């Protein structure tokens, strides 16, 4: 009987191996990941250029509208209404084109950010496998880690790993 209890205790201890758990602060990781920073900068430049284009087109259209108002006073009412309708239609087309360009830029940015997030997840998974982690949890805003010791925080290591790989 003593042997049976001893064997049971040994089996129980052997099956209770310690799980290795770490966590990553998702917000800090993404804020410090150079590829994400570069993508954001690239899209900010594109968004600024689009805003400048939008402003210059709007300004040119306003000048044209003011010139039309002056010209319309000398036209017959029906002719002025006809040209006003054409100008209004052109303004709507310009607005739609600019909106499409905005949406296209947003979609491109979202696609690149989704790709970065997928890449980060894969790197964290590979890091976990390589370093013998049973679990790596996500922390930060909206994460699942409410508390973790600094010893279990893998954020800086993974940021360094990602940035080193990105530099290559």
pLDDT in tens, the chain (168 residues): 555 454 544 544 445 567 899 999 999 999 999 999 999 999 999 999 999 999 999 899 889 888 888 888 888 888 888 888 988 998 899 889 999 999 999 999 999 999 999 999 999 999 999 999 999 999 887 777 878 888 898 999 999 999 999 998
Cα distance between residue 16 and residue 33, in whole Å: 37
Cα distance between residue 29 and residue 154, in whole Å: 10
Contact 161, 33 (CB under 8 A): no
What local confidence, expressed as pLDDT, does residue 12 receive?
44
pTM of structure? 0.74
Cα distance between residue 69 and residue 84, in whole Å: 9
Cα distance between residue 148 and residue 151, in whole Å: 8
CA within 13 Å, CB half, 37: 12
Structural domain boundaries in the chain: 18-167
Long-range contacts of 55-64 (CB under 8 A, 24+ apart): 57/94, 57/98, 61/91, 61/94
What local confidence, expressed as pLDDT, does residue 17 receive?
63
Q: Characterize the bridge pairing of strands 135-139 and 21-25.
A: parallel
What local confidence, expressed as pLDDT, does residue 11 receive?
46
């Amino acid at each position: 009987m003593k042997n049976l209890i001893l064997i049971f205790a040994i089996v129980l201890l052997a099956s209770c191996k310690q799980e290795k758990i770490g966590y990553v602060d998702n917000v800090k990781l993404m804020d410090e990941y150079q590829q994400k920073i570069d993508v954001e900068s690239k899209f900010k430049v594109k968004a600024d250029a689009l805003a400048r284009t939008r402003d210059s087109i709007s300004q040119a259209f306003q000048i044209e509208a003011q010139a039309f108002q002056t010209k319309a006073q000398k036209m017959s009412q029906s002719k002025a209404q006809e040209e006003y309708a054409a100008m209004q239609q052109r303004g709507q087309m310009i607005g739609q084109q600019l909106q499409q360009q905005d949406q296209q830029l947003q979609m491109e940015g979202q696609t690149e950010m989704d790709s970065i997030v997928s890449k980060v997840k894969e790197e964290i998974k590979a890091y976990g496998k390589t370093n013998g982690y049973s679990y790596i949890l996500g922390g930060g805003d909206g994460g699942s880690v409410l508390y973790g010791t600094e010893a279990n925080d893998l954020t800086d290591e993974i940021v360094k790993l990602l940035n080193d790989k990105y530099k290559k």
